[in-house]
Chains A and B, each alone.
Chain A
Amino acid sequence: DAGITQSPRHKVTETGTPVTLRCHQTENHRYMYWYRQDPGHGLRLIHYSYGVKDTDKGEVSDGYSVSRSKTEDFLLTLESATSSQTSVYFCAINQDRGDQETQYFGPGTRLLVL
């Protein structure tokens, strides 16, 4: 499992409230990613990080911010949650497999915005 945990695993919140999801890894991986998964859309990249304090936007970054103040934690914040952000959120890291790196995914966080 590449030492990836996500918290919380489930959350229900109300529209307009801020929400922070945490991804934690224990193996000192440089690259970390946040995806969301919705029916009919597959997985879509929200933001990613290539080091401490180094982040960049993905395909669907509007309404989300991220922070990485230390290697092991990558935080995803919904500044003002909306119902359209109801989704399953997956964190991932890159792990070296010889000729290429591959991604390992966390168990996911199910977020419901009412």
Chain B
Amino acid sequence: DAKTTQPPSMDCAEGRAANLPCNHSTISGNEYVYWYRQIHSQGPQYIIHGLKNNETNEMASLIITEDRKSSTLILPHATLRDTAVYYCIANAGGTSYGKLTFGQGTILTVHP
């Protein structure tokens, strides 16, 4: 897995968009960018993934720069329940998929 770098913590007001950055400057062409989050004491939860194109699902949007060296996870209308640790992971999938490397992530705190 390519190394990823995330800010240790971020704050966001409830109802506003939360934009979580991730740098992955050494990502290889076959590595996807995955985002997971972990709410206190629970197992990590898959959010979204992408390769080159921007992606959107019911939880979030993922914006990947054209050079693929960085990405941003967007929670469009953050709620208090979005307070969690967010992990950005670069992984090639396939037989290597299972060996996910979880770094320290970003602690997102959503304030009322």
Contact = CB atoms under 8 A, between A and B. Distances in A.
Given A33-B98, A101-B97, A102-B34, A108 B42 contact: yes
Main secondary structure of the interface of B (DSSP, over half): loop
Given A31-B98, A42-B104, A105 B44 contact: yes
Interface residues of A, number: 25
At the interface, is chain A mostly helix, strand, loop or mixed?
strand
Interface string A89-106: 010101001011111111
Interface in B26-50: 32, 34, 36, 41-46, 49
Nearest to A98: B49
Contact of A45 (B34, B87, B93, B99): B99
B15 interface: no
Interface of A: 31, 33, 42-45, 48, 50, 58-59, 88, 90, 92, 94, 97, 99-108
Interface of B: 32, 34, 36, 41-46, 49, 51, 87, 93, 97-100, 102-105
